[in-house]
């Protein structure tokens, strides 16, 4: 994953900490980003590891981690897109996406993406959200 302008040292700090504590391989890394005060703002760092994901809240300034079970746990989701054509993967600098996921545990995951990062959010939606929907 490549998010232009995202501080790599802080990202690598959390990758190293994860590898010390967990045995599961990180399958995908995602950084939520959006526009704040007319410039890109990076918010949360996410690690997706098959059956669960970890969220590092405000990873640039805090050291707080939340753990979420994903496997067979998604009861609903909303995916909002602006100026992004997922089918044809057409991304503009002003493209944005917002994914909200509600889990069986009543936890809600909120992920935002800007520009080229929308493609990564769509991959997460397809690989981890849709495939883990609870089916009655």
Predicted pLDDT of residue 7: 73
26: domain CATH number is 2.30.29.30
Does residue 78 form part of some domain? yes
Residue recorded with tokens 């992920």 = 111
The answer to whether position 97 is within a domain reads yes
Q: Which helix (H) or strand (E) holds 31?
A: strand 28-36
Strand order in the sheet with 90-103: 74-85, 90-103, 108-114
What residue numbers bound the domain in which 56 lies?
8-132
Give a yes or no: residue 3 inside a domain: no
Q: How far apart are CA 43 and CA 49, in angstroms?
A: 20
pLDDT in tens, 70-83: 999 999 999 998 88
Q: In a 3-state reduction of DSSP, which class is residue 60?
A: coil
pLDDT, one tens digit per residue, over 23-78 is 889 999 999 988 888 888 889 999 999 899 999 999 888 888 999 999 999 999 99
Residue 1 lies in a domain: no
Q: What domain count does the chain have?
A: 1
- β-bridge partners, 99: 79, 111
Q: Is residue 2 part of a domain?
A: no
């Amino acid at each position: 994953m490549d998010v232009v302008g995202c501080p790599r040292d802080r990202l690598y700090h959390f990758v190293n900490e994860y590898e010390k504590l967990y045995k599961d391989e990180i399958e995908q890394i995602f950084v939520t980003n959006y526009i704040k005060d007319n410039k890109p703002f990076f918010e949360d760092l996410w690690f997706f590891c098959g059956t669960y994901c970890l969220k590092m809240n405000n990873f640039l300034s805090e050291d707080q981690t939340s753990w979420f079970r994903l496997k067979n746990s998604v009861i609903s989701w909303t995916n909002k897109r602006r100026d992004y054509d997922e089918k044809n993967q057409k991304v503009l600098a002003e493209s944005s996406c917002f994914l909200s996921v509600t889990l069986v545990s009543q936890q809600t995951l909120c992920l935002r993406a800007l520009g080229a990062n929308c493609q990564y959010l769509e991959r997460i939606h397809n690989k981890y959200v849709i495939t883990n929907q609870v089916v009655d």
